[in-house]
Amino acid sequence: MSIAATSPRRWKKPPMIQRAWLRWSLALGAAIYLALALGTTEVNWTRVWEGLPRGVKFFSAFFPPDFVSRWSEIAEGIEESLWMTVISTVIGIALSIPVGIGAAKNIAPAPVYYFCRGILAVSRSFQEVILAIFFVKLFGFGPFAGCVTLAFATIGFYGKLLAEDIEDMDPGQAEAVRATGAGWLQWINYGVQPQVMPRMIGLGLYRFDINFRESAVVGIVGGGGIGATLNTAFDRYEFDSAAAILLVIIAIVMVVEYSSGYLRRWVQ
C-alpha cells in the first residue's frame, strides 16, 4: 500500500472573515481612516503638557476626598437626584407601556405602529443633555425639567425593549386567551403581560440605575440634582469636593446595581 506523497501541511487558524477581498479591503479602509483621523485631529500638546500637574493635583484630591466642607450641598444634590430618579422612572415607564404596545408589529395596526416607532426614534436619537437643554428652556430651571427629560429618555429605552419583547412572545398563549372570548384589555392583561413581565421588571430596575447616573449630568445644564453641585465644584477648582461627589455617585450606583440584581433574582 502506497501513501500518496503529500507535502506536510501546516494547520493555520481560520480567519474571522472568510472572504479574503473583504478582509483586506476592511483592513485597508481602517488604515486609511485612522491615518485621516489622526492627521486631522488638532491637539494642543503644550496645553496638555501644562495641564498634567493639574491632573496630578486632581487625582491627589481623591486622597483624601473632602466630604465635609460642602456636605450640605452634596447631601441636598444627592437627595434631589434620588427623587428625580424615582419620579422620572415611574412616569417614564407608565408612559412607555402604551407606546411600547403600539410599537409592537404583531399587536398594533400599521399607522399606530409607525407613529409609535417615530416617537421611540426621536426619543432615542437625542442624548439626555440635549433634551435637558430644551426642557430647561420650556419649564424653567430646576428638578422638574430634569424629571421630564429623564422620563422622555426612559420612553425611548423602555418602549423599544418592551416592543421587541412583545414581538418575540409566544403567539400560542395569546391565541389561547383570545379563544376564550377575552376582550382586548383582557387579552393584553392575561395573554401578553405575563409573558413579558419578568424581563420588564428587571429592565425597569436597570433603567432606574441609568436614570440615577444620567441625573448627574442633566444638572450641568440646569436640570437639578447632583450635577449642578458637581459643575460648581469643578468651576471653583475644588477638586477634593468634586472627588467626594464622584465617590458618592459611584457608591450609590454600586448599591443600586447590587440591590437590583438581588431584586431581579427574587422576582424571577
Partner 1 sequence: MAVAIRNGTKVWQRRDRKAQFATWGVYLVGAAIFIYCWNLISDKTIWAFVLDAPTQAADLGARMVPPDWGSIHGLWRPIWDTLNIATMGTVIAVILAVPVAYCAARNTTPSVTFVRPLALFVIVSSRSINSLIWALMLVTIIGPGVLAGILSIALRSIGFCAKLLYEAIEEIDESQVEAVRATGASGAQVTAYGIVPQVLPAFAGISVFRWDINIRESTVLGLVGAGGIGLPLNAAITTLAWTQVSLILLIIIATVVVSEWVSAKVRHAII
Residue 265 binds partner 1, judged by CB under 8 A: no
Q: In this structure, are residues 135 and 149 in contact, taking their beta carbons and an 8 Å threshold? A: yes
Contacts (Cβ under 8 Å, ≥6 apart) of 129: 217, 218, 220, 221
Q: How would you classify residue 68: left for phi > 0, otherwise alpha for psi between -120 and 50, otherwise beta? A: alpha
Q: How would you classify residue 78: left for phi > 0, otherwise alpha for psi between -120 and 50, otherwise beta?
A: alpha
Angle subtended at Cα 260 by Cα 256 and Cα 265, rounded to the nearest 5 degrees: 160
CB of 161 to partner 1, least distance (A): 14
Please identify, using beta-carbon distances, which residue of 75 and 253 lies nearer to partner 1: 253
Q: Which of residues 2 and 44 has its CB atom nearest to partner 1 in the complex?
A: 44
Footprint of partner 1 on residues 149-188 (CB under 8 A)?
none
C-alpha triplet 157, 159, 164: angle, nearest 5°: 100
Provide the mask over 26-65, with x wherever binding to partner 1 is found by CB under 8 A and - wherever it is not.
Answer: -------x---x--xxxxx--xx-xxx-xx--x-------
Q: How far is the CB of 99 from partner 1 (least distance, A)?
A: 18
Count other Cβ atoms within 10 Å, centred on residue 254: 10
Using the rule CB under 8 A, which residue among 73, 75, 86, 173 binds partner 1?
Answer: 86
Whichever of 109 and 136 has its CB closer to partner 1, that residue is 136
Instruction: Give, as ranges, the residues between 185 and 204 that touch partner 1 (CB under 8 A).
Output: 190
Nearer Cβ to partner 1, position 82 or 97? Answer: 82
Query: Which stretch, 66-74, 117-125, 163-171, 172-180, contacts partner 1 (CB under 8 A)?
Result: 117-125
Percentages of the chain per state (helix, strand, coil), in multiples of 5: 80, 0, 20
Q: How far is the CB of 2 from partner 1 (least distance, A)?
A: 30
**Which residue in this structure is represented by grid cell 491627589?**
60
CB 88 within 8 A of CB 211: yes
User: Distance between CA 68 and CA 243 in Å, rounded?
Assistant: 12
Residues that bind partner 1 (CB under 8 A): 13, 16, 33, 37, 40-44, 47-48, 50-52, 54-55, 58, 80, 82-84, 86-87, 90, 121-122, 124-127, 129-130, 133-134, 137-140, 142-144, 147, 190, 213-214, 216-217, 220-221, 224, 227, 230-231, 234, 237, 242, 246, 249-250, 253-254, 257
